[in-house]
Amino acid sequence: MSTAIRENLKPALILFGLLTFATGVLYPLLVTGIAQVVFPGLAGGSLVRQGHLPVGSRLIGQDFHDPAYFWGRPSATTPPYNAAASSGSNLGPSNPALSQAVRDRAARLRAADSGGRSIPADLLTASGSGLDPHISPEAALFQVPRVARARGITESRLRELVNRLTEGRQLGVLGEPRVNVLELNLALDQIAGRRSLNSCPYSKNDTIMRSNPGG
């Protein structure tokens, strides 16, 4: 190795090591520290808690299927709402499998929510991530009769709950009005009594529990 190469190699390696340490260690620690101080909830995964127990995240849906709870959007992940494998179905609009999946979902909803009403589209189609925690206010209101029957409470009270928890557009213009399904069901338990843990998926999101052991 020539003298010129050795003279250039040493400062290059030193600079490489310093940049790696600065960008790979110091910068992530600094950003994480600032986030934990300024936005602790967001930096911690936007967890929703009951007492000290994390029961989910505002950012990740859960597979509610008990008739006494509001249901979220279909999820194309395996198992549903698997945060470690976020994905859509990748089925095009002309794919027969997608048409059949929509028909199956519609049949299930009509069997549970009878009345011949039009089914909101977000209850029939999965989101691109498979993890969407929100549904439209129309999708929540569509489910009010079923939940009211299962809970033995009035539909008007549930409509008031849905309207109260409906989130508006961000900054008044971005996105669409929406309802967080987990927060809606937690509020439902508060006004109507908690269901059996065997039928309620709270705390069963394995991804959340693995990333937050012990709460």
106-148 residue pLDDT tens: 998 988 876 678 999 999 998 888 899 999 999 999 999 999 9
Say which residue, 156 or 43, is predicted with more confidence: 156
Residues 146-200: tens digit of each pLDDT: 999 999 999 999 999 999 999 988 888 888 999 999 999 999 998 887 664 444 5
Sorted by sequence, the CB contacts under 8 Å of residue 141 that are 6+ apart come out as 159, 162
Instruction: Please state the length of the chain.
Output: 215
pLDDT higher than threshold 90 for residue 9: no
Tokens encoding 135: 């549904």
Asked whether the beta carbons of 119 and 142 are under 8 A apart, the reply is: yes
How far apart CA 215 and CA 212 sit, in angstroms, is 5
Instruction: Kindly report the pTM of this predicted structure.
Output: 0.75
Looking at residue 68, its pLDDT comes to 93
- State residue 202's pLDDT score: 60
Q: How far apart are CA 58 and CA 73, in angstroms?
A: 14
At 207 the pLDDT is 45
Predicted confidence (pLDDT) per residue in 67-95, tens digit: 999 999 999 888 888 888 888 888 888 88
**What's residue 210's pLDDT?**
43
Rg, the chain, Cα only: 23
Tokens of 196: 């059996």
What confidence score (pLDDT) does residue 172 get?
80
DSSP-derived secondary structure for the chain = --HHHHHHHHHHHHHHHHHHHIIIIIHHHHHHHHHHHH-HHHHTT-EEEETTEEEEETTB-----STTS-------SSSTT-GGG-------TT-HHHHHHHHHHHHHHHHHS-S-PPPPGGGTS--SSS---EE-HHHHHHTHHHHHHHHT--HHHHHHHHHHH-B--BTTTBS--BEEHHHHHHHHHHHH----TTT--TT--HHHHHHSTT-
User: Would you say residue 102 has pLDDT above 70?
Assistant: yes
Q: What is the pLDDT of residue 144?
A: 94
Residue 42 confidence (pLDDT): 67
Compute the distance between CA of residue 6 and CA of residue 204 in angstroms, rounded to an integer.
Answer: 58
